[in-house]
Structure 1
């Protein structure tokens, strides 16, 4: 094709048809410019399709995997924590049952969000492909709240549990003869006396402190769950509008 156009130019020059050559040259330039513009346009179309595909992939992964798993995990945490806060009813029951429930009571409850898709999109810069400013803002807001929950509610609960409730429980409940007897171990330790334990102001104070801390965590998890459900609905609506 290049040789063909070159032959035409040479023939026009040899025939001293300069005006026709000039018109031809301008036409050739226009054709080249049109070709370049078409190439750019085609490239832009391909790029837009790729960006749209990546946007949908991010949104689907968030809605159908990460947020869905978060909601399930939060439900499990809320149920587990709610169950352990019923510890007061065990104080008037069987000693071994109370020991087992106290061990569960001082377990740390932590929410770990499924943030792989979000972190990947932020680190690679593909979060900008989400066209809706409102939706993008809601996504950032959700994961910011996850971080706040981790460093405020759960960190506070961890300190409270390990510095207040935990030591009291290990000394007055776990470190008793009945506790070791569960594993067929006999030690010269004091027996667990639930009546005296109820009258122990320091122990009961640590118990209520832990209960208040757990209730605070439960409230925080419920807010996170509501936000995860709302965000998931917003993402689903955005995907349907595409």
Structure 2
């Protein structure tokens, strides 16, 4: 094709038709430019399609991650609520002199309330990979991109609150690091001794922990635990669940059916 046009130009030049030669040459240049523009447009379209396909892959992966993270948070909220209720029951026993719990009931209550630490561990593998690789820019929805970026900062705030809750839990447990109280009694009466393969202390050697119900220090530690546990749910977990729902809604909107 190029040779064909070249022959035409040479023929016009040879015949001395300079005007037609220039006009033809100009038209040929325009055709070449148009061809280049078309090629660029096709290439840009292919690139955009590739980016959109990549974005859809990310969006679907993020949806799976955040759905799992939501389930984890829901389970963690249940654990925190159970701990809160157990601690509150201890305060109720301390406030009611007429109905003290048995040693076994108190031991089970202490075990159920303070055996399980609170730590939210969301699935952020894909999100962290996107942030570290700079792929977060491939998310075209600006608001969604901002929410995903802020999610990591939110996790840091949640960790700080959980750390504070852990400290309050430890203060309660530290009261069993003395000669006046006995973890062994709790282990025996809750069956924990069997799980860790320890022999029972025996009723004669079993030390009662019910004196804690008359301890102001113990009461203060329990109340601080309740307050921190309540704040963890109301000012951190509940807003976090709202963020999860919002992000999942935006992901569902962006994902092409």
Give TM-score scaled by structure 2 length: 0.77
**1:26-73 alpha-carbon deviations (Å, 9 max, x no partner):** 11111111011111111111122122222222222222x121111100
Query: Could you say which residue in structure 2 is the equivalent of 1:71?
Result: 70
Q: How many residues align?
A: 238
Q: How does 1:1-242 map to 2 (within 5 A)?
A: 1-63=1-63, 65-88=64-87, 89=89, 92-95=101-104, 98=107, 101-102=110-111, 105-150=114-159, 152-162=160-170, 164-171=171-178, 175-176=183-184, 179=187, 182=193, 183-184=198-199, 186=201, 191-219=206-234, 220-239=236-255
More helix by share: 1
Q: 1:205 to 1:57 in 2, by over 3 A?
A: same
Larger mean CA deviation between 69-78 and 192-201 belongs to 192-201
Post-superposition offset of 1:210: 2.2
Stretches of structure 2 lacking an aligned partner (at least 5 in a row): 94-100
Q: What SS does the corresponding residue of 1:98 show, helix, strand or coil?
A: helix
**1:98-155 alpha-carbon deviations (Å, 9 max, x no partner):** 25843751432111222223223323333233333333333333443222212x3112
Post-superposition offset of 1:186: 4.3
User: Aligned partners of 1:71, 1:186: CA distance in 2, in Å?
Assistant: 43
User: Aligned partners of 1:77, 1:178: CA distance in 2, in Å?
Assistant: 24
Larger mean CA deviation between 178-187 and 228-237 belongs to 178-187
Give TM-score scaled by structure 1 length: 0.81
Post-superposition offset of 1:221: 1.5
Stretches of structure 1 lacking an aligned partner (at least 5 in a row): none
